[in-house]
Amino acid sequence: MSVNDDRPLAAIADPAPLGLAAFALTTFLLSAANAGWMKAATGDAWLGYAFAYGGLGQLLAGMWEFKNRNVFGATAFSTYGGFWIGLGLWALLVAPKAASPAAAGHDIGWILLAFAIFNTYMLLWSARINMAVFGVFLTLEVTEILLFIGAFNGAAAGSGLTQIGGLVGILTALVAWYASAAGVVNGMSARPVLPVGGPLWGESASAGRPVEA
């Protein structure tokens, strides 16, 4: 019951498909640039969407997950929303003043290393959700590791580990889009339409019960 007017709190729609879609699109745009697919473009198509979609969209999804008492979703979406906003601000305010391209590359390396550390424990806990969510965090983990090593070694977009990280990042986006699509259509249906798999471990895996993302 609400403490304000004694009426039950209204349920809200699952914000996870929005957060996953926002993450997927922005990740796809940046990863395409890292993979060297945007040679005829500016390579910065991701920047506006880092603020408006990957940033704000995920941050809102994270706040709504707090409302749903989903600590995993709230932490994941809020953190990666902050990641995209922070990366956008870095690209606009810090990168142009970098002493050299190598210094800017090392900045990116440290940023991605820090988020890879965060992603490592979220990867472990995502195994308690379902296979689709676990797939997102697994491919993202590989992407971040490849990119931070590539950044520390001076690999430019379209070359070396940065290119490989971009390709894995595209795969990450596709997995996230699938998880988002499953969340949308399964939320509209009485029975699951797109499979997401069960948890790999935890109480729900032991009991054979599905866990909502």
Cβ contact 138:171 at 8 Å: no
Nearest to 142 by CA among 109, 176, 119: 119
Sign of the Cα torsion 190, 74, 116, 101 reads positive
| pLDDT digit string, tens, across residues 42-74 | 999 999 999 999 999 999 999 999 999 999 999
CB-based contacts of 182: which residues, under 8 Å, 6+ apart?
132, 192, 193, 194, 195, 196
CB-based contacts of 159: which residues, under 8 Å, 6+ apart?
36
Buried b (16+ CB within 10 A) or exposed e, 133-156: bbbbbbbbbbbbbbbbbbbbeebe
d(CA 36, CA 46): 14
pLDDT at 12: 86
d(CA 71, CA 63): 10
Q: Calculate the CA 96 to chain-centre distance.
A: 26
Token pair 């959700």: residue: 129
Q: Which two tokens stand for residue 160?
A: 């070396």
- Name the stretches of the chain with pLDDT < 70: 1-10, 204-213
Cβ contact 24:180 at 8 Å: yes
d(CA 181, CA 179): 6
Nearest to 53 by CA among 189, 205, 195, 180: 180
Q: Which two tokens stand for residue 99?
A: 């002493």
d(CA 3, CA 149): 51
